[in-house]
Structure 1
Amino acid sequence: MGVIEALAIIILILAIFILIYYFILNNSKSFNGFNFNVPNVNSEKEEMSGSGTNSVDIDFDDDEDENIEINKESNSMSKFKDMINDYDMSSFNTDAFSQKIDAFLDEKSDQLIEDWSLATQNDLDTLERRWASANESIEDLEKRFDEYSEFTNERLESLDKRIEALEEDKDN
């Protein structure tokens, strides 16, 4: 292994460690910043209906943080719902909005057609007329070619007959 390959491997390893570090840094809620909390253990001896059992209550510090976070989220959601409920929905009419969009498209249709190189019905009609004209022209050309080829074939046959006649006269 060459020096360049070893250097490339070291750089890749460093990049992986940096990515892991930033991942842990950005997701510190799930990892709790690698500060592992030791649970508080409260043990109480209670006798329940004649049997001696130990009751162990484990409290984590994170439990309180989660409850606070859940309360914050529910408060923000309720604020968002209040904001939506306060908004006057009567003025939000989809028909009026659709009409505004249609008016805008009608106003800007020529520019949109030009910018996006769209085909209109007029363009399609023009193309259909040109295709029909070209089709008729091709049919006319085929007819003329057939007529010319018949005429040419007749002329060639007459020339062949004349050549044969001349050859026979020459041989005799």
Structure 2
Amino acid sequence: MSHHQHPKPFINRLAQTITLLAAILIVLAAIGSMILVLIGAPTGFALVGGIALLLIFPLVMQTAIAPAVTVDDTGLTLHPLYWKSQHIGWDDIKAVKVFPLLPSKDEEITRKYAVGKQRYRAAEGIMLVIPSLPMQYRIAGFFAGERAQPVIALTNRAHTDYDTLLKKVLEMTDTAIHDDALLPSERIPKEKTGKK
């Protein structure tokens, strides 16, 4: 059994708390604008309230997309900060794909300078399509291009010991559900093979 949480738990908790508070404020603002319309304000306030409610979806996605996970021989246990923990069996995973929402190497110029070129590692990640997950994971699937199928992401930015996590997931899931982009040469991290 292995546990893979965020590499910087305090920063993760702070970011998710701010995200949750922002979602609550948006809901309150939308309700307030609807009340203003009911008491005689211009109907434009209703439009503003509706548009504000749409901003909740990316915020909810942020709280659910990459939860801490515990891996064992029976499956994964998801441990999101603000949602219910849930065990997912290996057979419940319907697809393993490259996670498309990560920045490319070329988009991270500032990060390269901030952490240093020697310590910089490009963002890597996979997503697991799991139909049995609740609504907040469907929002993540929508933004990841999976037509609102529930997904979680496992990335080197959001999970400690990502290489071990990736290896275990790829070993325990059926290769028929793996994305073509997950070539055998990419399944074993370069540090482990000695290749550069």
TM bin, normalised by shorter chain, reads under 0.3
Rg comparison, structure with higher value: 1
Question: Taking structure 1 as the reference length, what is the TM-score of the superposition?
Answer: 0.21
TM-score (norm 2): 0.19
More strand by share: 2
Higher helix share: 1
Higher relative contact order (CA 8 A, sep 6+): 2
